[in-house]
Structure 1
Amino acid sequence: MNFAPWQRSVFEAAHGSLAEGRLGHALLLVGPEKMGKGEVAAILAKRLLCASPAADGLACGQCRSCRQFEAGTHGDFSRVGFEPNDKGDKLRSEITVDQIRRLGQWFALTPQLGGAQVALIEPAEGMNHAAANALLKTLEEPSPGRFLLLVCSAPGRLPATIRSRCQRLEFRLPAKEQAEAWLRSQGHAEADIGAALEAARGHAGLAADWLAQGGLALRRQVRGDLDAVGNGKSGPVEMAQRWLGDEQAALRLRFAADLAQDALSRRLGARPPEKGGLTAPGDFSKLSAWYDALNRVRGQLSAPLRHDLLLAGLLREWRTMLLEDRKEGVAR
């Protein structure tokens, strides 16, 4: 396994606890998205099930347990996540109480290979209230050789009663130099690494994803779109429909919010001036409110609302704020 530096530190901490007999039966792997938490959890699960682990702490990859794990047929490993809805046309937006009850029944079975049983729940914050309550029974009645791995990007959405019963394994953003070195090792162009890390606020995993998927180009496009709306070259309604017209809608809104936040930071002197940056409104309070409203729309994209009208209204407000600035000669 070619661990990223932040993944290696987490795995080594878990392996050290396991070697010393201090590994909890419930582990909470927490940190920002795109940090590889799920991958590390799966590697740890494979190790916990392995009959002949290697000296470096990883699974051997050769025993019967490892072969079944790789084939996805291991009877003593259970993965819980979003299941298809009743129509089968898309995934549910939450993990249900029935799923957690089935997991509790599964944990009560005798392990098929005579070793450990390991369950992985991802995303753990996706459990609804009833599911989280049902999980407490499993957490409160630990059994030897039973392990529960919870992968979570928003631990604040988990009940404190669950968090307090888990051993926490935290994924932290790496130092800038370490992040840059890792991105180089992944084959990304040197000229783009700095810009990607800056846009991702130092999040190397997110920067790598954007570099691989064209995220930087999309961010530049969003900046140009905001300028076009602001100077009257594009209409708010047409732009809103274009932004929401494909699967990248949430990312466009994120970039728009990030660009507004950057403008706020520059206005406060927290970030240096940016050559060729976004021309943003000069009214601090209005820009702050616009930023909050845009994030609310982004958070509601899955709700049955007229997002095009909401977004068009915000883009119209963006143009109005810039027009007011031009009248006063303060647009920057």
Structure 2
Amino acid sequence: MKTAPEDIPEADRVPGAPHPREARRVLGHDAARRDFVSAARGGRLHHAWLLCGPRGVGKATLAWAIAKWVLSGMASDDLTSDPESPETRRVLALSEPRLTVIRRPWDDKAGRLSAQITVDEIRRLLSFFHMSAAEGGHRVAIIDAADDMNTAAANALLKVLEEPPARTLILLVAHQPSGLLPTIRSRCRTLRLSPLAAPQMGAILSDMGLHEDAQALAALSDGSVGEALRLAGQDGLDRYQALVDLFATLPRLDRLAAAEWSSAAAGRAGAEGDPFDLAITLLDRFVARLARAGLMGAPLDQAARGEAALMARLSPDDLAARHWAEAQASLSARARAGRAVNIDPAALVLDMVLQLAQSPPARAATA
């Protein structure tokens, strides 16, 4: 049975969050915005741009802002566009004939999004450039994420980049650009985006209605708005608070509480996200923040009540920091291995929690 278009999830949307095309402004990334505007104003608007940086820092938001700005006439100097303009309205409705978006397609047979962007999607891009030529003005394509292209799709895109149609703009969003073909990277101008500072994160999250939790989400998401929205949508702050409370019971870990915390990882993945992935992410962030605390002191912006005091106790110096950094690498490797062989998520997470609880710094820090 064919899935109705309105029921198909968007591959480039964080579950439970607005789509990047809906953002009214781009906060931060001033250098990237200046570089693009300068190139456009100076008649040096390259046909392909690679927007790269950590996942969730705003690459897609910037790509959609660029698209709206270019299609609506490039009037402002900061990539803002009139929200009431016909072009902006059509972009928001995905009805602008001079814009297309390439992302992982829906697989009706499997009942889920495809794992990759296939060559058929790039062929659709070629058809778009041919059909939209009569519209006049620039034609814009957003590929999100370019990391998702399989080999055939990447090779097909390379041919487009080598012989680009006139007045075209291709925006490639990439989380790990090193994984792209070197020949693709060499044919693009690059805009590198860094994690957002806490004030910028707070402003963006407040814009989205997350006023009360903005500071804690900003602290826990390492400057990634996408990650902050994912955590907010999965009650990540409550889960992280429970993790901090759990490790506060050291040196005598509350094993019943540990088992209860770990059991939530066995839930089914759904529209709001994957509980196992959330548990692994929170453990990883917790240990990373412990390692950072040993080197730089307890975090000024806490992601949970009592976090700073706990980290000062469990990671008081650079020796402890080195230990926690090694523990983080070990846990990441175990998580990858567990995913590969389909180990029971709750059992794997509990084992990881118990392993962390046996860490020498944790045993030594009994004050």
Instruction: Bin the TM-score by the shorter chain.
Output: 0.7 to 0.9
Matched, 1:313 2:351: yes
Conservation of the 8 A alpha-carbon contact between 1:80 and 1:120: yes
Tell me which amino acid in the other structure corresponds to 1:253.
I
Three-state SS of the structure 2 residue aligned to 1:6 is coil
Q: Which amino acid in structure 2 is aligned with residue 22 of structure 1?
A: R
- The amino acid across from 1:293 in the alignment is S
Structure 1 residues 186 and 283: alpha-carbon distance in aligned structure 2, compared to 1, 3 A threshold: closer
**CA, structure 1 residues 212+4, in 2 after alignment: closer, same or farther (shift >3 Å)?**
farther
State how far apart, in whole Å, the 2-side matches of 1:48 and 1:91 are. 30
Whether 1:199 aligns to 2:220 is yes
Measure the CA separation in 2 of the matches of 1:265 and 1:133: 41
Asked whether the 8 Å contact 2:25–2:65 carries over to 1, the reply is no
In 2, Cα distance between the equivalents of 1:174 and 1:45?
A: 22
Q: Distance in 1 between matches of 2:180 and 2:81?
A: 30
Spell out the pairing of 1:149-160 with structure 2 (5 A cutoff): 149-160=171-182
Distance 1:154 1:80 in 2: 17
- Tell me if the contact between 2:142 and 2:171 (Cα under 8 Å) persists in the aligned partners: yes
Q: What code does the residue aligned with 1:231 have? A: L
State the shift of 1:168 in Å: 1.3
- TM-score norm. by structure 2 comes to 0.72
For structure 2, which runs of at least 5 residues remain unmatched after alignment? Answer: 1-22, 269-273, 300-307
Counterpart check, 1:276 vs 2:310: yes
* SS at structure 1 position matched to 2:329: helix
Distance 1:120 1:4, change over 3 A: closer
Moved more, 33-42 or 65-74: 65-74
Match of 1:220 in 2: 241
Which 10-residue stretch deviates more, 203-212 or 92-101?
203-212
Specify which of 152, 156, 169 is matched with residue 134 of structure 1: 156
SS in structure 1 opposite 2:64?
helix
Q: C-alpha separation between the residues in 1 aligned to 2:208 and 2:257?
A: 40
**Secondary structure, aligned partner of 1:276:** helix
Residue from 279, 303, 307 that aligns with 1:252: 279
| Structure 1 unmatched ranges of 5 or more | none
Q: Do the aligned residues in 1 keep the contact of 2:26 with 2:61 (CA within 8 Å)?
A: no
1:217, CA displacement in angstroms? 2.4
**In 1, distance between residues paired with 2:59 and 2:27?**
13
Aligned to 2:137: 115
Give secondary structure in 2 for the equivalent of 1:272: coil
Q: Distance in 2 between matches of 1:301 and 1:97?
A: 31
Q: Which amino acid aligns with 1:260?
A: V
Could you tell me how far 1:137 is from its partner in structure 2? 0.7
Distance, in Å, in 1 between the alignment partners of 2:82 and 2:89 is 10
Identity of aligned residues (%): 26
Q: Is the 8 A contact 1:34 1:206 kept in 2?
A: yes
Question: How far is the alpha carbon of 1:74 from its aligned partner?
Answer: 2.8
- Residues 219, 97 of structure 1: CA spacing in aligned structure 2 closer, same or farther, 3 A cutoff? same
Equivalent of residue 331 in structure 2, options 278, 288, 294: 294
Amino acid corresponding to residue 331 of structure 2 in structure 1: L
Matches within 5 A, 1:74-223: 74-109=96-131, 111-180=133-202, 189=211, 193-203=214-224, 206-207=227-228, 210=231, 214-223=235-244
Whether 1:264 and 2:285 are equivalent positions in the alignment is: no
Counterpart of 2:286 in structure 1: which amino acid? L
Larger gyration radius, structure 1 or structure 2: 1
**Which deviates the most, 127-136 or 210-219?**
210-219
Distance in 1 separating the partners of 2:223 and 2:110: 38
Q: Alignment partner for residue 240 of structure 1, among 241, 254, 262?
A: 262
For normalisation by structure 1, the TM-score amounts to 0.79
Q: CA RMSD in A?
A: 3.7
Q: How many residues in Structure 1 have an aligned counterpart in Structure 2? A: 326
Deviations 1:24-61 (A, max 9, x none): 100111223333322321232233333x5535565566
- 1:87-124 CA distances to partner (integer Å, 9 max, x unpaired)? 25211121112222332343344524133222110011
Residue 79 of structure 1 and its aligned partner are, at CA, apart by 0.8
CA distance in 1, matches of 2:116, 2:266: 23
Aligned-partner SS, 1:5: coil
In structure 2, distance between residues paired with 1:97 and 1:222: 43
Q: Is the Cα contact below 8 Å between 2:29 and 2:194 reproduced in 1? A: no
Deviations 1:193-242 (A, max 9, x none): 54443333345665576567643322112223455696143276664332
More deviation, 278-287/170-179: 278-287
Amino acid in the other structure paired with 1:198? A
